[in-house]
Amino acid sequence: MGLRPNLLTRRTAGVASTTLALLLSTAAVGVVPAASAFSAAPAGGCVEPADSHAHARVKAGAHVKHDPNELTAAQVREREADLTAALAERARFRVGAQASAPLAAVTIPVVVHVIQRDSTRAGGNIPDSMITQQISVLNQAYSGGTGGAPTAFSFQLQKINRVTNPSWHPIVSGSSAERSMKTTLREGGKNTLNMYLGELSDNLLGWATFPKKTLDKMDGVVVLNESLPGGTATNYNQGDTGTHEIGHWLNLYHTFQGGCSGQGDQVSDTPAEASPAYQCPTGRDTCTAPGLDPIHNFMDYTYDSCMSEFTPGQASRMLTAWNAYRAA
């Protein structure tokens, strides 16, 4: 199967080819503790801060120890209540004459931290060209240039920060080393996207934090370096792990959040989906509710070549969350 026509414009220059006929089994995924994401970390356990909400994307066929990656219904209710409260708080501030209006368009400054074991490509030293291509992929995806709904967001690379530190390579989700890395390196305010690129543990492609009212040094996204355009992560080397994880950073859930019941991902125009979709299963339909599974949505788990869109509802949700949490 070739690339979908509306993907060709952004996936040509410097992108390694993929073999979509390769059949890989589905996988368990997860990095979020099974307890409430708003609860404190267990003693001696995961060092993720309360309500950091790490979300992982894994390669098809990868295996990790457990599958608590999806938020529980209770965790979703907590997050949605927090969003409502944050919006109400912002509205109260806007009553005064000095209050700023909600933003309709946002340019996000991006600081990229390249975590290296040494100066070799195998040691994490990817070229600047892959990073600039990643920013290009983000701008096309979030502008609707690949066929989906346009969003309010564009991305502007501010800095590439190269760090050689073998103790941070590979990046291990939830580890004290991850906390040390982010606490040491993170730059900017709540509106600044910090991307950490490197080799990752447990076959993960990436993970992210959700927004919250107060800035936490753990805020940002972690992405497998070889998932950038032109990387070596077959089927996942066109830059859409970055697109996916930034979606979480902007407050989107997975399309399969909640399965076939309830409010799912809290977005009305993404059809319900019972479980993650892998590869590119055209015609997949796992719920009785109207609509085929949203396998082309950036917030599913399909191959990069299969992903092409956000929906208008997702675009609206991201902007609402930006004005609630990240706007100055």
In the block, which residue shows the tokens 């609206």? 316
For 260, 269, 287, 311, the CA distances from 290, given in Å and listed in that order, are 11, 10, 8, 16
Tokens coding 52: 């950091």
Length of the chain: 328
Q: What does the radius of gyration of the chain's CA atoms come to, in whole angstroms? A: 19
pLDDT tens digit string along 267-306? 999 999 999 999 999 999 999 999 999 999 999 999 999 9
Is the bond leading into 170 cis (omega within 30 degrees of zero)? yes
φ, ψ at 160 (rounded to 5°): -115, 120
The CATH number corresponding to 103-253+312-323 among 3.40.50.720, 2.30.30.60, 3.40.47.10, 3.40.390.10 equals: 3.40.390.10
Identify the DSSP state of 200: B
**Confidence bin at 55 (pLDDT 50/70/90):** low
Which has the higher per-residue pLDDT, 300 or 63? 300
Whether the per-residue pLDDT at 64 is higher than 60: the answer is no
pLDDT tens digit string along 188-208? 999 999 999 999 988 899 999
In this prediction, residue 68 carries a pLDDT of: 32
φ, ψ at 175 (rounded to 5°): -90, 165
Active site residues: 245
pLDDT tens digit string along 107-121? 999 999 999 999 999
pLDDT tens digit string along 144-186? 999 999 999 999 999 999 999 999 999 999 999 999 999 999 9
Which has the higher per-residue pLDDT, 237 or 263? 237
Write down the pTM of the prediction.
0.81
What ranges do the domains of the chain cover?
Answer: 103-253+312-323
What DSSP string describes 158-199?
EEEEEEE-GGGSSB-TT-HHHHHHHHHH--S-TTPEEEEEE-
User: Which element (helix H / strand E) includes 86?
Assistant: helix 73-93
